Amino acid sequence: MKVTAVLLAAGQGTRMRSDLPKVLHAMCGQPMIYYAIQAAQAASTETPVVVVGHGADAVKDFVHDSARLVFQEKQLGTGHAVLQAESLLRGKSDYIIVTCADMPLLRAETLSRLVETQGANPGPITLLTVITRDPRGFGRVVRGADGSVQAIVEEAAATPEQLKIKELNASAYCFSANWLWAALHRIPISKKGEYYLTDTVELAVKAGLPVQALHLDDPLETIGINTRVHLAEAETAMRQRINTAHMLAGVTIIDPQTTYIEAGVTLGRDSILWPNTYLQGGTRIGERCEIGPNSLIRDTVIGNNCVVLASVLEGASLEDDVDVGPFAHLRKGAHLCTGVHMGNFGEVKDSTLGPGTKMGHFSYIGNAAIGANVNIGAGTITCNYDGVRKHPTHIGDDVFIGSDTMLVAPVKLGDRSRTGAGAVVTKNVPEDALVVGMPARAIKKLDKKEDVS
């Protein structure tokens, strides 16, 4: 049995008041169409089809090969939109799911239930309905005396009696494919000059074919986004859903209301998230970590048993047992090996800090490879930029950098070397040497056995 989903996304989304196509507006780190495609993929057997119109190129760039695209040149209504997929899908699918790409909270399980219900329906349509106090401009589901679905009436065309109907059309359907393709050509044009997909219901009823309604208990799932107010509502609901899933999987979230985890983030068991924490992009966090309060972590991989307090991490990686913050800034390419301690007011970019290295206070480390068990004194700076180019700094193992040292790159410091406080290092420092001054000059050869810890 072949099931294909058609997602409608050709409308302009005028009420978003935006240059960006509506379905590309982000929610919990992904454009809303991402969620619609995910749910569609899970509930169908074929690659979903997205009907695009306004902003087609931008949508195409995002969708790539996660869906096939068909173009609707003029937005002549939801029925006309589905018709654009006919030549691609006719004869290729037994069931067609139709839903809107601006309903990001609709669950895959709900779409699967639609397909199941339609599988048992002798008629051609199963539609999703919901009962809510706020009609939100949705179409009303008109039922006959026997309780069977007779029609969907759009709000603009509804009589005062029909407006009182509480059962609404959520805009998710499963159709028997052959019947659908024929019916779409028979939809009458509306007063507004559009072809409404919802009019297929009356076509079925007139032909004596039963229409099934699957009733949804959770009205949140049917939030369709028309304005940025709806977008914020949906974001809140999606955030709760994401947080709940992490908590049920063993993550402690002290205050879910102020914890913002994007859709692609993973977290290990027994990690604890303190309030006002943002986990974004492809961030992956291991087990038993403690993150926050007040931290923003984007596209960063963190091992087990790490602590990140009031810090910003972007494009970084931390091995196990690393602690950073408060007020640390890790940027792209910062790699902190096992057991690194990075205290307050430090910045690391495109650099590796070797195992057990400590950087307690006020430092900038850029384009540097730093060995194991190095002590980076307060105020140490890699002067990596000469105004034109970035230059590397190499620091060996067991090096002790005195407070306020300027390391003028390119420069290398050998294993077990030391710099005095305030040194400006412009030349390579051999192993076991102590350098001081400005610019720093060699003053003595260290005895290898001398204790430098």
**87 three-class SS:** helix
Q: Residues 46, 2: contact at Cβ < 8 Å?
A: yes
198 binds, among Ca ion, ligand UD1, none (CB under 5 to 8 A by kind): ligand UD1
Within residues 244-263, the interface with ligand UD1 by CB under 6 A covers none
| 361 included as an active-site residue | yes
Rounded alpha-carbon distances, angstroms, from residue 152 to 64, 75, 136, 144, 165: 35, 20, 15, 12, 11
Distance CA 356, CA 398 (A): 10
Count of residues touching ligand UD1 (by CB under 6 A): 26
364 binds ligand UD1 (CB under 6 A): no
If the CB atoms of residues 56 and 310 are measured against ligand UD1, the closer one turns out to be 56
If the CB atoms of residues 14 and 257 are measured against Ca ion, the closer one turns out to be 14
The contact mask relative to Ca ion for 196-235 (x = CB under 5 A, - = no) is: ----------------------------x-----------
Which of these ranges, 35-43, 100-108, 377-385, 425-433, lies near ligand UD1 under the rule CB under 6 A? 100-108
**200 three-class SS:** helix
If the CB atoms of residues 224 and 325 are measured against Ca ion, the closer one turns out to be 224
Distance CA 155, CA 135 (A): 9
100 binds ligand UD1 (CB under 6 A): yes
363 binds ligand UD1 (CB under 6 A): no
Which of these ranges, 196-204, 247-255, 352-360, 385-393, lies near ligand UD1 under the rule CB under 6 A? 196-204
**Smallest distance from ligand UD1 to CB 11, Å:** 3
Instruction: Decide the pairing of beta strands 30-31 and 26-27.
Output: antiparallel
> Which of 54, 230, 341, 361 does the annotation list as catalytic?
361
243 binds ligand UD1 (CB under 6 A): no
DSSP 213-275: EEEES-GGGG----SHHHHHHHHHHHHHHHHHHHHHTT-EES-GGGEEE-TT-EE-TT-EE-S
If the CB atoms of residues 22 and 298 are measured against Ca ion, the closer one turns out to be 22
CA atoms within a 13 Å half-sphere pointing along the CA-CB vector of 40 = 32
DSSP 334: -
Write out the residues near Ca ion by the rule CB under 5 A.
Answer: 224
Catalytic residues: 361
Write out the residues near ligand UD1 by the rule CB under 6 A.
Answer: 8-11, 51, 72, 75-78, 80-81, 100-102, 138-139, 152, 154, 168-169, 171, 196-198, 224
